[in-house]
Amino acid sequence: MSVAPSVALPHAPAVKSARSVGSGRLALLFAVILTTSLSAFALAFVSFVKPIGEGDGLPDYAAIAPHRDYVWAFFAIAGVQLIVGACAAALAAWLLVPDRGARWATVGGGLVWLGAALYGVGIGGWAAVYYFATDHATLGSATAGRFVDHVNDDTAHLLAMPIGGAVLIALGSLTIAVALWRARTVPRWVPVVGAISAVATVVLPPDGVAGLVGEAASSASTIAVGWYAWQRGRAAFSA
């Protein structure tokens, strides 16, 4: 009885292709984190140079109406970059915490994702209210001014969602910092700066020098998380 000769299947090209795809995805993840982190600092710088309104209070009708398109675009870009950037950074942190600290990373990432969802809903509604309230073709300036003042006075409804989301993101970032510290997969300065900047971005006014420095530190630590996740993944795929 004849025996059919064995045929070697071409596994090597398939494995190489899978590694290339995995490395490419990690590079894309880092590119997203880099872009959103830099844009976050750019928005903070714009807010510092060209604040919306005057003083520490919410902007009134006179401050919003002449720049309503700019205000809407600013809020929209801020919301999108934070949601995408925060979720991408949480994913990168998960890749850096394979075992030790994994529970901390899982809880922290979940808080970040939930906070990003709340923030996105809140800031989207905030932008929409200001945009339509200052439409002079629909509302007169006197009526619109009273409406904006009424909205600004009801901060419990106006800011509950975005502030609540920002607080959850900060708590999640602190938890992720603990996970990274325990995992020891990044230099010690990364979780330390990440933890400090997570608190700073919540408690410091965003349009001041301190807030700008805090945002710069947050962007730097987030970029570092993305970078080390990419490098760790490249090493794993090349092994």
For residues 194 and 218, is the Cβ–Cβ distance under 8 A?
A: yes
Count of helices and strands (H, E) across the chain: 9, 0
Place of tokens 């604040």: 51
Give the Å distances, CA to CA, from 154 to 148, 160, 171: 10, 10, 25
Place of tokens 């901060």: 155
**78-116 burial code (b ≥16 CB/10 A, e <16):** bbebbbbbbbbbbbbbbbbbeeebeebbbbbbebbbbbb
Determine the pLDDT at residue 67: 87
Determine the pLDDT at residue 3: 47
In residues, how long is the chain? 239
CA gap 82, 79 in Å, rounded: 5
Determine the pLDDT at residue 48: 83
Q: Which of 5, 68, 26 is nearest to 230 (CA)?
A: 26
Q: What is the mean pLDDT of each run of 10 residues along the chain (239 residues)?
A: 48 52 82 94 86 74 88 91 93 88 90 94 91 84 87 87 93 94 92 92 78 89 94 72
Determine the pLDDT at residue 239: 58
Determine the pLDDT at residue 1: 45
Place of tokens 């230099």: 187
For residues 118 and 165, is the Cβ–Cβ distance under 8 A?
A: yes
Helices (H), 97-208: 102-133, 141-153, 155-158, 160-183, 189-203
Determine the pLDDT at residue 115: 95
Q: Which of 30, 171, 12 is nearest to 92 (CA)?
A: 30
CA gap 103, 122 in Å, rounded: 29
Determine the pLDDT at residue 54: 67
CA gap 33, 12 in Å, rounded: 32
Determine the pLDDT at residue 237: 58
Residues 6+ apart with CB under 8 A from 230: 26, 27, 29, 30, 92
